[in-house]
Chains A and B, each alone.
Chain A
Amino acid sequence: MIIFALCLAGVWIADFLPIALPANVIAMLLLFILLVFRAVKPVHIETTADFLLKNMAFFFLPATVGVMEHFDLLKSSLLPLLVICTFTTLLTFLATAYTVKGVTALQNRLEKAKERVVLTGKEEAKCRN
Chain B
Amino acid sequence: MQELISSPMFGLCLSLGAYLAGSWICVRFRLTLVNPMLLAAVLVIGFLKLTNISIEDYRTGADFIGMFLGPATVALAFSIYSQFEVLKKNLLPVLAGCTVGAATSIFSVWGLCRLFGLSSEMTVSLLPKSVTTPIAMSVSEQLGGIAPITVAAVVITGIIGSMLAPLLLRFVKIGNPVAVGLGMGASAHAMGTAKALEIGELEGAMSGLAIGITGFVTVILAMFL
Contacts and interface: CB of A to CB of B under 8 A. Distances in A.
Interface string B35-58: 111101100110011000001001
Given A63-B66, A88-B108, A101-B179, A70 B149 contact: yes
Given A22-B219, A64-B151, A80-B116, A92 B81 contact: no
Contacts of A91: 104-105, 108
A90 to B, nearest CB: 6
Interface string B61-97: 0110110111111111111111010000010111011
B183 A27 contact: no
Most B CB atoms within 10 A — which of A64, A85, A96? A96
Contacts of A32: 77, 80-81
A99 B58 CA distance: 45
A93 B168 CA distance: 10
Contacts, number: 290
Interface in A14-73: 19-25, 27-32, 35-36, 42, 45-46, 48-49, 52-53, 55-70, 73
A82 B97 CA distance: 25
Given A4-B71, A63-B151, A95-B100, A70 B146 contact: yes
Q: Is the interface of B mostly helix, strand, loop or mixed?
A: helix
B151 A67 contact: yes
Given A22-B139, A25-B219, A77-B122, A60 B151 contact: yes
Contacts of A94: 168, 172, 183
Nearest to A11: B70
A98 B179 contact: yes
Nearest to B153: A85
A96 B182 contact: yes
Given A66-B147, A73-B146, A85-B153, 9 more contacts: A36-B81, A36-B84, A56-B72, A58-B65, A60-B66, A64-B37, A88-B109, A93-B188, A96-B187
Interface of B: 11, 15, 18-19, 35-38, 40-41, 44-45, 48-49, 55, 58-59, 62-63, 65-66, 68-82, 84, 90, 92-94, 96-98, 100-101, 104-105, 108-109, 112-113, 116, 118, 122, 126, 129-130, 133-135, 137-139, 141-142, 146-149, 151-153, 155-157, 160-161, 164-165, 168, 172, 174, 176, 178-180, 182-184, 186-188, 190, 210, 215-216, 219, 223
Interface of A: 3-4, 6-7, 10, 19-25, 27-32, 35-36, 42, 45-46, 48-49, 52-53, 55-70, 73-74, 77, 80-101, 103-104, 107
28 contacts: A25-B138, A25-B216, A28-B74, A28-B76, A30-B77, A46-B78, A48-B71, A56-B134, A59-B66, A61-B19, A61-B44, A65-B55, A65-B58, A65-B148, A66-B55, A67-B148, A77-B116, A80-B113, A82-B156, A90-B168, A92-B108, A92-B186, A92-B187, A96-B100, A96-B179, A97-B182, A103-B92, A107-B93
